[in-house]
Each structure stands twice: as structure tokens, then as C-alpha cells.
Amino acid sequence: MHQLLHQPWPWYVAGPLIGLIVPALLLLGNKHFGISANLRHACAACFPADIKFFQYDWKKEVWNFFFIAGIFAGAIIAVQLLDNPAPVAIHPALAKELAGYGITDHHSLLPAELFSWNSLFTLRGLIMLIGGGFLVGFGSRYAGGCTSGHSIMGLSDLQWPSLVATVMFMVGGFIMANLILPFILHL
């Protein structure tokens, strides 16, 4: 049991646990799973009510703030428990491809060449972190939800818009990973 806490859980354990969140939220409180709407709730709580988009009773959704706090707390706990000094094991062919992009640090899940304060202030870092963050935020609001809301909650509710959004998320991800990202990594 102790060893199970010091390594990432396999997909066949983590996947069903995530999947069980959906019926639990619906049965326990008729709540919907999703992350991106929390930013709207936070803005509605902080900004004056004269902005029409934020004129609703955000206090009915206060449980979302506890949910997000739990995500942050879980991440902090996981970083502490999963801190492993051994490098991340990746396939040699992938390591060779990444080395072609200048990514050679495999000592953590996020390569320092991409995710660090030093890389943030490069053209590649600005495009990937700032530009990518903006596009993800804009896209999730434009699609009416994020990948967790549409792909986990919406598909389980058999919602047609969620199927369309999930297909578009996947198409966008394939285009980004195979066509756009290699170009950006060469910057």
C-alpha cells in the first residue's frame, strides 16, 4: 500500500475513479462536473454585477470553489508523495525525437526546457505557455465547457454538443501535436 502512494496510478485505476465522479455528482447534488466554469464563478464573485455575463447567483455554485481547492491540494500532496529523484522513463525513440527539439531534461514530468521561468521569457515559451493558455481559456468558453465538462460529463449524459466538442478537441490536439508543435519547438 505504501508503494502505491509513491507512484502514479495506472489508467485502469485512475480512469474508473474519474468516471465514478460523474454519477456521484449527479446523485449527491445534481451537480455537473467541469473546471472552466469556475473562472466565471470567481469573476462573478469578485467583479461588480454591472457586467451582464456575471449577473447570476454564483453562490449556488460555491461548491466548485471547494472542488478547485481540492485539485490544488491534491496536486501539492501528489508532488510531495510522488517526488522521485529518478528520471522519467521514456522510450528511446521519443528521447531521440525530443533531443532534436532541444529537450533533454527528463528528471521530472514537465521538461524544464519548456516549463520553467527561464523558458517563459523566450519566444517559444511565450507562444506555448501564454498563447496556449489564452487559446485553451478562449476555446473552453467558446465551446461552452472544457474537456472535462464535455468529454467526461457531457458524453456520459449523451449530449450531442459534447460529442461534437470532444471530436473537435481531439482533432485540434492531433493537429497541434503533429503539425504545429514541431514547428514551435524548433524556434
Burial of 14 (0-12, 13-18, 19+ CB in 10 A): exposed
More confident residue, 81 or 73: 73
Closest CA to 67 of 169, 162, 153: 153
Element (H, E) at 46: helix 37-46
Q: Does the pLDDT of residue 52 top 60, yes or no?
A: yes
Supply 98's cell numbers.
Answer: 525530443
Q: Residue 91: what residue type? A: H
Higher-scoring residue by pLDDT: 9, 62: 62
**Average pLDDT for residues 37-62, to the nearest whole number?**
80
Cell numbers for 86: 529518478
Residue 174: per-residue pLDDT: 93
C-beta separation of 162 from 150 below 8 A: yes
Calpha distance 33→79 (Å, rounded): 24
Instruction: Tell which residue, 177, 85, 74, has the closest CA to residue 128.
Output: 177
Which is more confident, 92 or 85? 92
Chain-centroid distance, C-alpha 135? 13
Instruction: Say if residue 92's pLDDT is above 90.
Output: yes
163 vs 147: CA distance, rounded Å = 11
pLDDT, tens digit (0-9, with 9 covering 90-100), for 17-38? 888 888 888 888 887 777 887 8
79-88, 115-124, 136-145, 152-161: lowest mean pLDDT where?
79-88
